[in-house]
Structure 1
Amino acid sequence: MSYQVLARKWRPRKFAELVGQEHVVRALTNALDSGRMHHAYLFTGTRGVGKTTIARIFAKSLNCERGESADPCGECSVCTAVDAGRFVDLLEIDAASNTGVDDVREVIENAQYAPARGRFKVYLVDEVHMLSKPAFNALLKTLEEPPPHVKFLLATTDPQKLPVTVLSRCLRFNLKRLLPDQIAGQMRHILGAEHIEYEDAAIGELARAADGSLRDGLSLLDQAIAYGGGSLKADDVRAMLGSVERGQVFGVLDALAAGDGQALMAESTRIASFSPDFGSVLDDLAAALHRIQLIQLVPGYRPENHDGDDSALISLAERLAPEDVQLYYQIATTGRRDLSFAPDARTGFDMALLRMLAFRPSDGATPAASGGQRSAPSPQRSAPATPSAPAAAPVQQARPAPVPSHATPALATHAPAPAATPRVADAGGMPDWEALIQRADLRGPLGQLAQNSALRGREGNTLVLALQPTHMHLAVEPMVSQIADRLSEVMGEQIRLRFIGDSQGAAHTPAARAASARSAAQSAAEASIEGDPLVQALKREFGARVVPQSIKPFES
């Protein structure tokens, strides 16, 4: 007898044998036991999670010779025929190959006839999203009101492509991606029944590589058994998958925690000697950083025992700062995405590791300039041209001889002038209103009220402000008090404000002066364009004209 692959040999034949889809099994079991069965079901999910398998078991449960039940016998002629794929009343249609309206029309015509052997004629349409739009339209009426002896079971990996009219006619079940532990448990069960020796570390590698699909996991298991000559060893599986041992990933993290560039590149070379898939290595690195961050930030969290590496994770969590872990994780995921843009995968991997080292946040200390650790910046690059700048102070202190006292005046003559600050009073003692607004950082509604006011005078601690009579309703509490408080902080004394309505005095506000300056700049810009010889030549030769409002003054 020819060899049958594990994914087909160990395909579940009862609902109780399914892995990881308890929510679907419960709903279908209750429907079968109570007799409340819908006429159309839609199973969605990624590849290899049990969509077609559930549909076949459901068809077997409907037509079992011992009666409708959630637990078909598996021994009668109907059950054995369904398992063998030769039950005449279970019609499996590959929508990827039969996409046209003619194929669907044939299904509709045959659906009118009674089943040949079973109680129900079951149509299992796989990858139903591949049907054409006319085919969907032709199927709608039959899908909504099929004959009583017909059941439709639809399966798809891409439900977003299905018309809403089809979705509304079906009971939809979303199948979950399987967890690595669930896949690993099923692999151990199969290997035990097949009497094949295995290592737990090898099972873990395969379960993670399956990426949520049990069928993919069993296909990899078949490949690994063939690669290992009938046994399953971790080193063989890693060589087959192009992955590396977790201890080597921890070696990379150890070097990063120590800030040791030489050790980091040595770990990279050691990993490269196994000819791995560098994308998978970065994925493993990101997964380890995720678990480290959970240890750091989730109280009471302890990693599950993954090949005994929990102690290494806890040690790294104590040595790495949480913000460093976040940075390394971001670089690992970004580096994984950018591998295809690198000259080669090894270069992209090395640059991702070096980026982690280069962008490592500084702790303020100057590490020893040995190995790959960061050294202090050279004075030639860090010292500014001005000798008295604050940044040059460490260089001055590092000199063995003290600076001579007679050099102090020379340094003082080159000291940079303090930053210019707006004057708050003019020569006559009257406060500079525009400078006060700037110093008090008046913005928003407060700034608009102040900008549209003009300082008329000062009466003791009270500033008299002129405002347009039509704007007097804006000078109300609490805005006036808030402006006074800001001005008091700037002027160093308690200030009060009094607003008066004055049309002439309000014409000299900061807002009016700014508007006048903008108008003057606009006029100058327009005059400059009109007087430009090239513009005049274009007007004269081609009848060109300057588009209004298209001229904007240059802002320096």
Structure 2
Amino acid sequence: MGKALYRKYRSRSLSEIVGQPHITAILERAIANGTTAHAYLLTGPRGVGKTSIARILAHEINRLPYRDESTHLDIIEIDAASNNSVEDIRDLREKVQIAPVSAPKKIYIIDEVHMLSKSAVNALLKTLEEPPEHAVFILATTDADKLPATILSRVQRFNFRTISQDEVAAHLRTIADAEQISIDDDALQLIARYGQGSFRDSISLLDQMRNLSSETITAAMVEDSLGLASTAEIRQLLEAYCAGDLQTIADTLRALEHRGVPANAINEQLLHEIRSDIINKSNCLPLADKLLSNQK
């Protein structure tokens, strides 16, 4: 069984990270100057590189080669979603006092740290206040607002940005070419759009779509596979709205409903079409307001 593309093409050095130069530049200088911190907080949307950078940073600090399957006794990963009790953190506090086995530092990567219980957070805080010289903590979260100020004040915080659709599409093109996946640019743009700024989700979608056809994969094929309305149908709806053609609107929506296209997908597609050509579709702005209200 082949390896999933998102795992195969996971970044293995800071220079390979796409879309977060404001973070990688600082970390590269800190590593080069030997001025790394004892605690980091990586925060931002899912799928934008937090876990990848955490692992890369851990290996760089310890001057270890990083391979996707590599494990090391002095780099410990903890999923706070399933290890969130005060007992789990107290166990960590005891183990963190033990010196590294062979590397310069013992590094703890705690993912989804906002999932820790209140008592667990308080226990972790004591360790962050007075960490052993050999310990480094790399915390990652999609929801930093749930963390207390006492934690935030004791870490170096890095805010990850949502990756732009064009950046994601360009990265997908690199992977598609390397994997000899024949797919056109419009299809890649569509995949990037529905990946919603997440590299991981977008690459997983590309992996899913790679077997759609033995010929070049088109945007229409991707739309059909994702259960979306076609671009032609969306434009037909907008033209009918502008013309006040209620019959065409009803017929088109009935056909989409028969195919099982979800209402929220039609909503999103209509909004995207209006936004993509707002100057020529200014008469659709009242509709856009209603569609936005439906999303709330």
**TM-score, normalising length from structure 2?**
0.92
Higher relative contact order (CA closer than 8 Å, sequence separation 6+): 2
Q: Could you tell me which of 269, 281, 284 is aligned with 1:325?
A: 284
Check if 1:108 corresponds to 2:93.
yes
TM-aligned CA deviation for residue 254 of structure 1: 1.6
**CA–CA distance in 2 between the matches of 1:239 and 1:246?**
11
Following superposition, the deviation at residue 291 of structure 1 comes to: 3.5
- Secondary structure of the 2:107 match is strand
**Structure 1 partner of 2:145:** 160
| Contact residue 289 and residue 328 of structure 1 kept, 8 A | no
5+ long unaligned stretches in structure 2: none
Partner of 1:192: 177
CA contact (8 A) 2:274 2:288 kept: yes
Mapping 1:392-407, distance limit 5 Å: none
Quote the residue 2:189 is aligned against. 204
Q: How does 1:109-148 map to 2 (within 5 A)?
A: 109-148=94-133
Matched, 1:79 2:65: yes
Aligned amino acid, residue 290 of structure 2? I
2:202 aligned to which of 191, 211, 217:
217
Residues 172, 203 of structure 2: 8 Å contact kept: yes
> Is the contact made by 2:41 and 2:139 (CA closer than 8 Å) also made in structure 1?
yes
CA drift at 1:145: 2.2
Q: Which amino acid aligns with 2:54?
A: A
2:166 matches 1:181: yes
TM-aligned CA deviation for residue 292 of structure 1: 3.5
C-alpha distance in 1 between matches for 2:42 and 2:73: 22
Change (3 A) 1:9 1:230: farther
The question of whether the paired residues in 1 share the 8 Å contact of 2:238 and 2:284 is answered with no
Residue 224 of structure 1: CA displacement? 1.5
Q: Distance in 2 between matches of 1:144 and 1:336?
A: 43
Q: How does 1:350-499 map to 2 (within 5 A)?
A: none
Q: Kindly tell me: are residues 201 and 167 of structure 1, through their superposed partners in 2, closer, same or farther at Cα, counting changes over 3 Å?
A: same
Larger Rg: 1
Which residue among 216, 227, 234 is the counterpart of 2:219? 234
The alpha carbon displacement at 1:287 in A equals 2.0
Equivalent residues of 1:225, 1:231 under 8 A apart: no
Whether contact under 8 Å (2:224, 2:230) holds in the other structure is no
Which residue does the alignment assign to 1:16? Answer: 15
What secondary structure is seen at the aligned counterpart in 1 of 2:222?
helix
In the aligned structure 2, how far is the partner of 1:45 from the partner of 1:131?
17
How big is the shift at 1:232? 3.1
Equivalent residue, structure 1, for 2:53: 54
Which amino acid in 1 is paired with 2:100? P
- The answer to whether structure 1 residue 243 and structure 2 residue 228 are counterparts is yes
Counterpart residue identity of residue 65, structure 2: C
Within the alignment, does 1:278 sit opposite 2:263 as a pair?
Answer: yes
- Partner Cα separation in structure 2 for residue 204 and residue 19 of structure 1: 17
- Give the whole-Å Cα distance in 2 for the aligned partners of 1:97 and 1:160: 20
Query: How far apart are the structure 1 equivalents of 2:215 and 2:115?
Result: 40
Q: 1:149 aligns with which of 127, 134, 145?
A: 134
**CA root-mean-square deviation:** 2.0
| Residue 228 of structure 1, CA deviation | 4.0
User: Would you say how many aligned residue pairs link Structure 1 and Structure 2?
Assistant: 296
Cα deviation for residue 267 of structure 1 reads 3.5
Tell me, in whole angstroms, the C-alpha distance in 2 between the residues paired with 1:32 and 1:88. Answer: 21
Cα 1:336–1:140 shift into 2, 3 Å: closer
CA shift for structure 1 position 273 = 5.6
Alignment partners' CA distance in 2, 1:12 and 1:128: 22
Q: What is the Cα deviation at residue 242 of structure 1?
A: 1.3
Q: How big is each residue's C-alpha offset from its partner over 1:69-97, in whole Å with a ceiling of 9 and x where there is no partner? A: xxxxxxxxx314x5323111100011111
Cα distance in 2 for residues equivalent to 1:335 and 1:148:
53
SS of equivalent residue, structure 2 residue 65: helix
2:200 aligned partner, one-letter code: R
- Tell me, in whole angstroms, the C-alpha distance in 2 between the residues paired with 1:204 and 1:143: 43
What percent of counterpart residues are identical? Answer: 40
Amino acid at match of 2:61: L
Match of 2:41 in 1: 42
Are the aligned partners of 1:15 and 1:54 in contact in 2 as well (CA < 8 Å)? yes
Match of 1:378 in 2: none
Aligned with 2:126: secondary structure?
helix
State how far apart, in whole Å, the 1-side matches of 2:84 and 2:218 are. Answer: 44
Q: What is the CA deviation profile of residues 124-172 of structure 1, one whole-angstrom value per residue up to 9, with x for unaligned ones? A: 0011111112212122222122122111000011111112111111111
Q: Which residue of 1 aligns with 2:246?
A: 261
Cα distance in structure 2, aligned partners of 1:131 and 1:227: 42
SS in 2 for 1:97: coil
Distance 1:43 1:262 in 2: 52
The code of the aligned residue for 1:79 comes to: P
Tell whether 2:157 aligns with 1:172: yes
Aligned structure 1 segments of 4 or more residues deviating by more than 6 angstroms:
none
Structure 1: gaps of 5 or more residues: 65-77, 296-316, 338-556
8 Å CA contact 1:60–1:79 kept in 2: the answer is yes
Cα contact 2:86–2:120 (8 A) shared by 1: yes
- What TM-score, normalized by structure 1, do the two folds share? 0.51
